[in-house]
Amino acid sequence: MQKIILRKITSSLQTRPHSRSIVSEATINITPFKLHRFDYGPTHENVALTREDALSYYRSMQRIRRLEGAASTLYKNKIIRGFCHLYSGQEAICVGMRGAMREDDAIITAYRAHGWALMMGERPESVLAELTGRVTGCSKGKGGSMHMYGSNFYGGNGIVGAQTPLGAGVAFALKYAGTNRVCFTLY
């Protein structure tokens, strides 16, 4: 019986056409949309996405999802103490926004910060170390799930809405320093 099933599987595999074409670029049509409190918006009607960029975005989303899976397991096994606010299902938000940001732009967010910590340059090991309270964590093990910080990453904040005035302060500091940088404040 196993030989018959195996033969059917292998024969179906052999009869499938092997027409794998590799596309080097995809073009996305931007449809007009209504703007709120803006006089004008994006001027591009078509946006191109290279194969390399698409694969990079995909790998970043997979890395975040795997990290969150590991964090979930650690939390269920009571290795992560306290709160653990996972970013699962939201990976495309930070990956897409990071793709549009300049390298030196800043960001501040609420308490779901694991994905953002990775996208802003933290290593997965330092994020997991932070979650488990280790000194090798991105906040020396003192911040936990809600208070991760890094280069141009002003962390997650455990107080609802606290990131809004802090983000405005970071943005004003960047402006007063005479830079062209911006601070994204996520709610």
Averaged pLDDT, 179-186: 94
Quick one: tokens of 177?
Answer: 């320093």
**Would you say residue 14 has pLDDT above 80?**
no
pLDDT in tens, 71-115: 999 999 999 988 899 999 999 999 999 999 999 999 999 989 999
3-state secondary structure of 108: strand
Q: Which long-range contacts (CB under 8 A, 24 or more apart) does 127-136 make?
A: 127/67, 127/71, 128/67, 128/70, 128/71, 128/74, 131/71, 131/74, 131/75, 131/80, 131/84, 132/74, 132/79, 132/80, 133/81
**Would you say residue 131 has pLDDT above 50?**
yes
